[in-house]
Amino acid sequence: MDKVFLSRLQFAATAMFHFIFVPLTLGLSVLVAWMETRYVRTGDRLYLQMAKFWGKLFVINFVLGVVTGLTMEFQFGMNWAGFSGFVGDIFGAPLAIEATVAFFLESTFLGLWIFGWERLSPRMHATAIWLVALASNLSALWILLANGWMQHPVGYKVIDGRAVMTDFWAVVTNTYGWLKFGHTVLAGFVVGGFFVLGVSAYHLLKDSRREFFQRSFRMAAGFSLISSILLFVVGDFHASHVAETQPAKFAAMESVWETQKAAPYYLLVLPDEKNERNAIKMIGIPKMLSFLAYHDLNAEVKGLRDIPEDERPPVLLTFLGFRGMIGLGMLFIALSALAWLVSRGWIRESSLFLKVFILSIPLPYIATQLGWVVAEVGRQPWLVYGLIRTSQGVSEAVSRGQIIASLAGFVLIYSLLAGVDLYLLCKFARKVPEEVRA
């Protein structure tokens, strides 16, 4: 394993671990804010108890998410000095805004929310958690605009071997970044919704505080259904934009080797990484891939054979990641629709039904990780698409041994943090509300 592979492995490990916490923060913050707002509007203290119960789980997840996110930015200077030197003038701007504005706002109002239960009026206290939710999503926006620029660079010039920003507004309004933001945030909403559904199902199965958890389940069901449908719609637009801006990635996502018009969409495909002739394709829908890619039944879809071999991403991993993400996304729509029907009494609740939602808690997490696999592996061999290759971004001063040592350290520490997080979430999620103190 060379330095490039080890550095990629280290960043993948830290980024994917950090992203275990991010989507739950995005989704659960909105749900907690909604619950507290219902309390302010109705005066029903059950909603207040709900905000406190789910809010405690939100805080646990938030704190550990912050800890795991801090180490990621250090890697830009340590393992990826070539990348930082080339794009630091552009990439650093949105990250600086995220740290000085969004994260500061998020942390400040979270502190007010945690310690202000008896000190702030109900309206001000509810406003604080809404500002936490807003700031969390603003934080995600600036990070994803930075990543969106890596995927589709705009508003820059290369001067003396460095990418220099020439149009900040073009970077901020980059369509790729906004589609990625919408896709990621909605995925976080689905994670938060299914988390509440699963924990509520656990307590309903135990027959503890039925009204409390039936209301939680009902709110999460509607939230998850709307979020999963919007996620599918935004994902469709995002895939179409990928087809326009990153044809190699799109070809790998669908295992398209030959450029063709009116391209069919194959429901069952098993691609072969080295020899396209060995790929298995079954049940094709005529012209559907062209329509999905460009919303035109006769549009031309570029194949991998028309892309230089050294610019093709890994096909099998990108393809499987994309198909897995799409399959899970459709499952979320079906499950959340079922939950919505049950929560309104149109379908009878059963123990099997509740167990399905308990077991479904990890599925949105898996889907979000697959999404990042598609986004980042599918961009290869580029670190910044079309500008700098991944092999050019690695630090020269860092040795292979140092990368291995730091990777081992990260894996050890993060494994311990994962154990702490899982223990705390399980401990407090399994308690009935009377045992949780604000």
Q: What was the pLDDT predicted at 283?
A: 63
CB 104 within 8 A of CB 131: no
E strands, 256-365, where? 260-261, 265-270, 280-285, 300-301
pLDDT in tens, 191-214: 999 999 999 999 998 877 878 899
Lowest mean pLDDT among 174-183, 265-274, 384-393: 265-274
DSSP of 84-153, one letter per residue? Answer: HHHHHHHHHHHHHHIIIIIHHHHHHHHHHHHH-TTTS-HHHHHHHHHHHHHHHHHHHHHHHHHHHHHHS-
Q: How far apart are CA 268 and CA 251, in angstroms?
A: 16
Identify the band that residue 438 occupies on the pLDDT scale cut at 50, 70 and 90: very low
CB 156 within 8 A of CB 59: no
Q: How far apart are CA 221 and CA 223, in angstroms?
A: 5
pLDDT, averaged across the chain: 86
**φ and ψ at residue 164, rounded to 5 degrees:** -115, 130
Q: How far apart are CA 127 and CA 36, in angstroms?
A: 9
Name the 3-class secondary structure at 361: coil
Q: What was the pLDDT predicted at 75?
A: 74
Extract the tokens encoding 99.
């740290």
Residue 435 scores a pLDDT above 70: no
Residue 268 scores a pLDDT above 80: no
Q: How many degrees, rounded to 5, is the angle at CA 421 between CA 216 and CA 56?
A: 40
**Residue among 65, 51, 66 at smallest CA distance from 196:** 51
pLDDT in tens, 143-184: 899 889 999 999 889 888 888 888 899 999 999 999 999 999
Task: Give burial (CB, 10 Å; 0-12/13-18/19+) of 227.
Answer: buried
Q: Tell the residue number behind the tokens 């969390």, with chain if given.
A: 136
Q: What was the pLDDT predicted at 436?
A: 47
pLDDT in tens, 201-252: 999 988 778 788 999 999 999 999 999 999 999 999 998 999 889 999 998 8
Task: Please name every residue paired with 285 in a beta bridge, in sequence order, or none if there are none.
Answer: 265
pLDDT in tens, 10-67: 888 888 888 888 899 899 999 999 999 999 999 888 999 999 999 999 998 888 777 7
Q: Tell the residue number behind the tokens 């507290």, with chain if given.
A: 36
Name the 3-class secondary structure at 400: helix
- Give Cβ neighbours of residue 312 (< 8 Å, ≥ 6 apart): 248, 252, 304
Q: Cβ atoms within 10 A of the Cβ of 240, count?
A: 17
CB 175 within 8 A of CB 158: no
